[in-house]
Amino acid sequence: MPGNNRVRVAKKSQFEALAKLHGSEFAVGWSADEIKSLDASDRVVTLISTDEVAEQINGFAMARAVVDEGEILTIMVAPRYRRQGLGRRLLEEIRYNLEVKGVRTIFLEVAAQNNAGIALYRQQGFCEAGLRKNYVRLKNGGTEDALLMRLDLAR
């Protein structure tokens, strides 16, 4: 249930679980060391969503700020927790964290066939800014295009 979920900053001790979740969804998942390396920068924020009843991580998001631009590096929700608003909540929290860091524009890439993700980003004000051909590696060895999306934040 969405009411049992909490979003907060990830702890280093949780990076192994994040790597497992990331690897379950992507052909080339990030290792715990890669997540740790990214998260070591004060420009990066890593948030998790946890099911407080089941005491497990059910989603996470990472983003980085460079001067006044932000990039959402990943945002994902475990399959059994999808369609409950967790992706939207993670996206809203990441956006807030980037705004606090002075970001004025946020970019992200999303697989062109990820209709749910694209719909979420559009609902949150993102628009298409480009196309990256053969950008996403698939588990079957193929590739898929990715949309580059952009959100300009009001100041």
Catalytic one of 71, 81, 93, 121: 121
Q: Max Cα separation, the chain?
A: 43
Q: How many whole angstroms separate alpha carbon 48 and alpha carbon 61?
A: 6
Interatomic CA distance for residues 31 and 36, integer angstroms: 9
Compute φ and ψ for 85, nearest 5 degrees. Answer: 90, 5
User: Which residue among the candidates 99, 109, 135, 144 is catalytic per the annotation?
Assistant: 109
Residue 99 bears catalytic tag: no
109 catalytically annotated: yes
Distant-in-sequence, close-in-space partners of 68: CB < 8 Å, separation ≥ 6? 102, 103, 104, 105
CA nearest neighbour of 123 among 103, 151, 94: 151
Positive or negative, the CA dihedral 13, 82, 61, 97 is negative
Catalytic sites, residue numbers? 109, 121
